[in-house]
Structure 1
Amino acid sequence: MKTGFVILAAGAGRRMGGVAKCLLELEGQSLLQRLLSHLQPLRGKARHDLVLVLGHHAEDIQAHVSQLPSAIAPLCVINPRPDDDTASSLRAGLRALSKDVQQVVVLLADQPLIDGPDVQTALDAFKARGQGIRVQVPMVHGQPGHPVIFDAQVHAALIGTPLQPSLRQWRAAHPEAVRLWTTDNPHYTRDLDTPADLDALVRETRWSWRWPG
């Protein structure tokens, strides 16, 4: 089954001091490079199978992407209105994906612990979903996380209908088609929003870190 990946990286990072969070280096690699490397074995060969949505800090992030190995480089698209909501960024990413993808995996660029096996486990759970389920959201101790996965029908509804609902609106309108997948894996809900989040991560992992430049 052909899978498309959308990584959301359009935010301003205001709570982190207005920086491009995905450029934070952990153990010598940026968050973005770490995530792209983990996804490489799971993706197709076409660049349109992996889309990185940018907004704020787009120039800096694109410069970083241009230095990455071509095997992991994503297709970059820019949301011209990144402050609207995440729905506009997701829609920009979905429009850029290959038209023949059968399922879509949505990730955040500031998830420091997500790795390939985590994503594969989520994909396996989606594959084993019950009849009629079209969207899967990981739930860790009652908290929703990422990756969110949905099928081609939802993909088409989000970009191809006149109203173009957000994913949140689609889920609210079709609760019977949404699976809240319960898991104990904290990687799905761990992200870096504030300096305190980064401090906690470094204490737990003892990873070295630095901001570029």
Structure 2
Amino acid sequence: MQDIAILIPAAGTSSRMRGRDKLTEVVSGEPLLRRQAQTAMATGAHVCVTLPDYDHPRAETLAGLPVQLVGVPDAELGMSASLRRGVAMLPRGMKAVIVLPADMPEIETEDISLLIEGFRATPYPMLQQATAADGTPGHPVLFPANCFSAILQLTGDQGARDILTANAHRLRRIALADERALIDLDTPEAWDAWRGGPPQKLSVPAE
């Protein structure tokens, strides 16, 4: 599957965590970012992780993993900066990229594999978007290579929502179990709720 890339945007500031870094929170015995990278690697895809810079503490959580690291010195410009720089640095020949948010601790390897299998099963390049079991759109999202030029032109902090809208005619949605496609953890309260009780829908990803 090395012609498919998985991009994990991890260059944000965790500003809503009030001094904590959500990507170093421990999930299943590992820092969340390392867990996400390992989950992605298990698909056999090429894995790229964006970081604020190459010596950021988050880089230490990825030590020893064969993942591509990409620094994002303009990360303050928003999610688009991570997407642009990540896609621009992918190896040549990638047929698609899956955007996997770093702060979604319930996403499993089999979930990502469903998007890859869906992409490979269609006769022409279709976008693949994970949804909750009830069909609510979420993450991760797969973008075929013919979307890369549009990703490289993104601006602001809205992610790739406009690309999904523009390609609605070739967007295939894939339901994941429960609400794992929606659960992202941005605040201490969200982490406490997730750890202290049954999974709950904390937010709906924008892309």
Deviations 1:61-88 (A, max 9, x none): 12332xx33xx33221122221222122
Quick check: which has more Rg, 1 or 2? 1
In the TM superposition, residue 175 of structure 1 has moved relative to its aligned partner by 2.5
In the TM superposition, residue 11 of structure 1 has moved relative to its aligned partner by 1.2
- The amino acid across from 1:7 in the alignment is I
Instruction: Find the aligned partners of 1:111 and 1:165 in 2 and give their Cα distance.
Output: 23
Instruction: Find the aligned partners of 2:139 and 2:55 in 1 and give their Cα distance.
Output: 22
Deviations 1:32-71 (A, max 9, x none): 1212222223235xxxx32111128961112332xx33xx
Gaps of 5+ in 1: 207-213
Higher RCO (CA-CA < 8 Å; seq separation 6+): 1
- The amino acid across from 1:98 in the alignment is P
Q: Is the 8 A contact 2:23 2:33 kept in 1?
A: yes
- TM-score when normalising by structure 2: 0.80
Q: Is the 8 A contact 1:145 1:188 kept in 2?
A: yes
Aligned to 1:128: 121
Q: Is the 8 A contact 2:25 2:32 kept in 1?
A: yes
In the alignment, does 2:135 pair up with 1:138? no
In the alignment, does 2:60 pair up with 1:63? yes
SS at match of 1:169: helix
In the TM superposition, residue 184 of structure 1 has moved relative to its aligned partner by 4.4
Instruction: Find the aligned partners of 2:129 and 2:191 in 1 and give their Cα distance.
Output: 24
Instruction: Find the aligned partners of 2:95 and 2:61 in 1 and give their Cα distance.
Output: 30
Identity %: 27
Question: Given the alignment, which residue of 71, 90, 96 partners 1:97?
Answer: 90
SS at match of 1:42: coil
In the TM superposition, residue 168 of structure 1 has moved relative to its aligned partner by 2.8
Q: Is the 8 A contact 2:111 2:176 kept in 1?
A: no
Aligned to 2:9: 8
Q: 1:202 to 1:134 in 2, by over 3 A?
A: same
Q: Is the 8 A contact 2:50 2:69 kept in 1?
A: yes
Aligned to 2:205: none
Gaps of 5+ in 2: 200-207
Q: Is the 8 A contact 1:22 1:110 kept in 2?
A: yes
Q: Is the 8 A contact 2:37 2:47 kept in 1?
A: no
In the alignment, does 2:171 pair up with 1:170? no
Instruction: Find the aligned partners of 2:15 and 2:54 in 1 and give their Cα distance.
Output: 12
Instruction: State how many pairs are aligned.
Output: 193
Instruction: Find the aligned partners of 1:56 and 1:14 in 2 and give their Cα distance.
Output: 17
